[in-house]
Amino acid sequence: MAASDPAAHLRDQDIGTELAARTQDVIRPPLVVTAKIKSALRIVALDEAAASLGLEPGQPLADARAMAPALDAVDEDAAADAALLAAIADWAERYTPLVALDAGGLMLDVTGCAHLFGGEDALVADLEARLADQGFAARAAIASTPGAAAAAARFTTRRSVAADATPALLAPLPLAALRLEVETVSALDRVGLKRIGQVMTAPRAPLAARFGNGLLRRLDQALGSLEEPIGPRRPVAALIAERRFAEPIARAEDIAASILSLAASLAASLEARGEGARGYELALFRVDGAVRRIAVGASRPIRAPDLVLDLFREKFAGLAEEIDAGFGFDMVRLSVPVSAADAPAQVDLAGDATGESDLGRLIDRIGARLGAERVSRIAAGDSHVPERAEMRGGGAGTATTPWRDSTGDGTIDRPLRLFARPEPVEAMAAVPDGPPLRFRWRRALYQIVRAEGPERIAPEWWRDGEELSRDYFRVEDPAGHRFWLYREGLYGRETSAPRWYLHGVFG
């Protein structure tokens, strides 16, 4: 059709207008992030478009606008940036559990991990591609030292640097690549030292005397002559097992099967070490970068896969909200943060483990559902004073102690219901140190027809002067109600006016 055709011309004009609009959307002004530093707005971060115009961090915003009038500036939100970086750090643990925060970026120790991704270059390419899918522009590099890796990622396009190539990589780079303070870089620039290579060949003693030991320490760390450990932001688990999926999983059945399989792998390692796990942590890595962590604890060392799965099922049932799988999980990791010695399991002729404590399993399941801090057991305390003769503690290894049987016929001499705090009563006795004849408790008067005692309980010797001795009596009223009363203070020796308390009832 001829170009002079009005209809064709109109279509061409519409297409041109649409392309111009799309181009206008794609071409955006340079972006910088500013913060108030020393009473002036200065650039703290910038994109590649702004950097291509000669802008740099630390530059006053007024000078930057003079160089680029169309500059787009936004205020820094340090809290939001830190939260976002922490979320990315959680996601980066898919490559290694050793992830540390480093000057607005991340430092990963991938020693022994690169082969799982096809090599160092493939690992970096996978990391950058996944971050790009999530909407982040990132640069990464692998080197033999953290300092060289940071320099290569921030100031070069290299993705991996061999150990013997580190000096050649660093020599032409600016001194800022050593992660020095801005003041130190400025001081070095004033004396004509602009590149790392100039510092590498300069005498060390004058440099240390004028610029401090920090300069030489950073240089030695980057070159590998001084070790620079990476401090992971999360404690590294004793044992870790993980599984990656070509197709993401989302169903509860698939997650349970993964937990069971990973727990079986960890069980073999724990048994070889003669240990059991006192807790497990499950990490679910979503394809969109979100990470969900769920932890369960055990009252005793365990390693049986079915027990581990039961704990997580109870935990899932007790969660306030369901696990959001999104578009699915492409990686599941099960780790053992804390382990303890555990004897090898005894097995029967069928090969099944025996001797497992049903009570311990019940405690673990209740703790997973309601929280371990809400489950406790009563154990004997090292004191004869009733309110200190027992204590609450967690764990299936603590044993309860029944009330003392002093008669030998199964009759207990302690009340079934012991008050949390003894309640004061008004009592009358025939003689000051004799059993009570009647007492008033909660405005009701009780006559005593039978009384047994006293049973004297003295406080511990190290509490000398803090507490008084007690004389306990088991008493009964005409209706058959039995009470446990005590008189506090020995008459004439510890006090002239003993006081009476009701400590419990027998049913």
CATH of the domain at 348: 3.30.1490.100
At 495 the pLDDT is 85
Instruction: For residues 483 and 496, state if they share a domain.
Output: yes
At 350 the pLDDT is 56
Confirm whether 154 is domain-assigned.
yes
Answer whether 282's CB lies under 8 Å from 309's CB. Answer: no
At 393 the pLDDT is 62
Answer whether 505's CB lies under 8 Å from 483's CB. Answer: yes
Nearest in space to 345 (alpha carbons), one of 332, 335, 354 = 354
Instruction: For residues 198 and 246, state if they share a domain.
Output: no
Residues contacting residue 450 through CB under 8 Å, at least 6 positions apart = 475, 476
pLDDT-based confidence at residue 471 (cuts at 50, 70, 90): very high
The 10s digit of each residue's pLDDT in 89-126 is 999 999 999 999 987 789 999 988 888 888 888 999 99
The 10s digit of each residue's pLDDT in 130-143 is 999 888 888 899 99
DSSP class per residue in 172-224: TSBGGGG---HHHHHHHHHTT--BHHHHHHS-HHHHHHHH-HHHHHHHHHHHT
Instruction: For residues 158 and 244, state if they share a domain.
Output: no
- The one-letter amino acid code at 283 reads A
The 10s digit of each residue's pLDDT in 58-72 is 889 998 898 988 899
- The one-letter amino acid code at 128 reads E
Q: Positive or negative, the Cα torsion across 217, 222, 225, 226?
A: positive
Confirm whether 102 is domain-assigned.
yes
At 230 the pLDDT is 87
At 361 the pLDDT is 67
The 10s digit of each residue's pLDDT in 276-294 is 999 999 999 999 999 999 9
Instruction: Say whether pLDDT at 412 is over 70.
Output: no
- The one-letter amino acid code at 238 reads A
Comparing 365-379, 421-435, 484-498, which segment has the lowest mean pLDDT?
365-379
Confirm whether 501 is domain-assigned.
yes
The 10s digit of each residue's pLDDT in 178-228 is 989 888 988 999 999 999 999 999 999 999 999 989 999 999 999 999 998
Q: What is the rounded distance in angstroms from the CA atom of residue 138 to the CA atom of residue 131?
A: 7
At 25 the pLDDT is 47
Instruction: For residues 121 and 197, state if they share a domain.
Output: yes
Confirm whether 376 is domain-assigned.
no
Confirm whether 387 is domain-assigned.
no
At 399 the pLDDT is 40
Confirm whether 382 is domain-assigned.
no
Instruction: Say whether pLDDT at 8 is over 70.
Output: no
At 349 the pLDDT is 53
Instruction: For residues 331 and 439, state if they share a domain.
Output: no
Nearest in space to 336 (alpha carbons), one of 233, 241, 231, 232 = 241
Instruction: Say whether pLDDT at 366 is over 80.
Output: no
Confirm whether 397 is domain-assigned.
no
Confirm whether 232 is domain-assigned.
no
Instruction: For residues 26 and 86, state if they share a domain.
Output: no
**Which domain range does residue 16 map to?**
6-76
Instruction: For residues 84 and 209, state if they share a domain.
Output: yes
Instruction: For residues 120 and 158, state if they share a domain.
Output: yes
Of 52, 76, 100, at which residue does a domain stop? 76
Q: What is the rounded distance in angstroms from the CA atom of residue 333 to the CA atom of residue 311?
A: 16
CATH number, domain containing residue 69: 3.40.1170.60
Instruction: For residues 99 and 70, state if they share a domain.
Output: no
Instruction: For residues 114 and 202, state if they share a domain.
Output: yes
Residue 463's φ and ψ, nearest 5 degrees, are -100, 25
Q: Looking at the 3D structure of the chain, how many domains does it have? A: 4
Average pLDDT of the chain is 83
Instruction: For residues 52 and 165, state if they share a domain.
Output: no
Of 76, 100, 116, at which residue does a domain stop? 76
More confident residue, 366 or 359: 366
Residue 438's φ and ψ, nearest 5 degrees, are -155, 160
Instruction: Say whether pLDDT at 401 is over 80.
Output: no
Residue 239 backbone class (left: φ over 0; alpha: ψ -120 to 50; beta: rest) = beta
Instruction: For residues 131 and 245, state if they share a domain.
Output: no
Instruction: Say whether pLDDT at 236 is over 80.
Output: yes
Answer whether 196's CB lies under 8 Å from 147's CB. Answer: no
Of 60, 76, 92, at which residue does a domain stop? 76
